[in-house]
Structure 1
Amino acid sequence: MSQGVVARRRYDRVDGRGHVEVAFFQPEQDGETGDFRCPFEISGLEGVESIRQQAWGVDSVQALQQAMQGARVALAPHREQLRWLSDSDLGFARYVPNGFGPELDAHFERLIEQEMVRLAPAMKRQWNQEDTLSDMEWLEQWYEAQCREEWAHHQGVNIQSLDNPGWLLKVDLRGTNLEGRMADALVQRTREPPSETNGNQGGDDWMECSIKEGCFIGAGDPRKLRAILNCFRVWARAT
């Protein structure tokens, strides 16, 4: 694609193995039809070659809008593998149909406004400065907010390396704002770690996060520290 990139979006992969990037290229006019096409490319998806497509519109703005819709559709099957601003929301809203006349356009707008008013406040996603923090920055702020002398010294947060090798994150939930969610549970697992029971065949691509005995415990291979931190953040912020 020879056109310059006009916009990019980067997603973190839940498995901690790099990023997925969406690039939108400069729309260009077709010499025969007069319409505009906007190429876009998605790279970094697990087990998928780079996706290269183009969207069309009557002008460059509509072509770019259609390209965003094309990216939304292409990414939808991979939504659970991606995080944007630490959320599984892809960030490409579905556009409201238009072009059917002013009366129908106004009707669609009223329907949306009515639904937004009807939704409970808790259902409305509130963007705030916290969304721009990295997972480590978020953990630092969360830790600071929980710190009381006894909790910080005797319980708190522990990050350490493992012998097998790998990473371990242990967060004691007792006495924190999360102590109401301490029931034992599996939060997320991607394959099993090497162990005697599986003949040390867990491989170099594994992660497991769970709640055990009042603690969030996340462990993973040497490349999973960021994924473990993200898993704790997403779990902690879930309502």
Structure 2
Amino acid sequence: MEILEWIQDWLKDNADGEWEKGDAIQITTLDSPLGWDVEIDISKTSIANLEIKWILNENGKQDWYGVKIQNQRFRAAGDAGKLTFLLNLFREMIEKIENED
């Protein structure tokens, strides 16, 4: 399943009438450096209590990404070519934790 289909299904599966009214999923752009910022509310998920400090992977000014989980929010940012990658990072975390249960 492609990542956009998966994230759409994930949103529908987690909607409870309240959670989705807030800022459940936000995808915005960064201008300096050019890139993407993804923030997802994980308070209703299997990784809600997970905390990960900011991890930055940088191979150059045009090849980088970072991720953290804090205060029940998944946050990831990356260069302009990393949106699909960032969404897949989130998917991998969710699926890994769910498969461990």
Matched residue of 1:218: which SS?
strand
Q: Which amino acid aligns with 1:214?
A: Q
Structure 2 CA distance for partners of 1:136 and 1:187, relative to 1, 3 Å: farther
Q: Which amino acid aligns with 1:155?
A: D
Aligned length: 96
Percent identical pairs in the alignment equals 26
Q: Which residue of 2 aligns with 1:147?
A: 15
Distance between the aligned counterparts of 1:223 and 1:213, measured in 2? 27
Q: Which residue of 1 aligns with 2:39?
A: 170
Aligned-pair distance for 1:188?
Answer: 5.4
Distance between the aligned counterparts of 2:45 and 2:51, measured in 1? 17
Higher strand share: 2
Aligned-pair distance for 1:191?
Answer: 1.3
Aligned-pair distance for 1:187?
Answer: 7.7
Question: What is the TM-score with the length of structure 1 in the denominator?
Answer: 0.37
User: For each residue in 1:88-111, what CA deviation from the matched residue of structure 2 results, as whole angstroms up to 9, or x when unmatched?
Assistant: xxxxxxxxxxxxxxxxxxxxxxxx
Aligned residues: CA RMSD: 2.0
Structure 2 CA distance for partners of 1:188 and 1:134, relative to 1, 3 Å: farther
Q: Which residue of 1 aligns with 2:69?
A: 211
Matched residue of 1:191: which SS?
strand
Structure 1: gaps spanning 5 or more residues: 1-132, 193-201
Matches within 5 A, 1:1-239: 133-164=1-32, 165-174=34-43, 176-178=44-46, 180-186=47-53, 189-191=56-58, 203-238=61-96, 239=100
Matched residue of 1:149: which SS?
coil
Moved over 6 A (4+): none
Matched residue of 2:37: which SS?
strand
| Larger RCO of the pair (alpha carbons < 8 Å, separation 6+) | 2
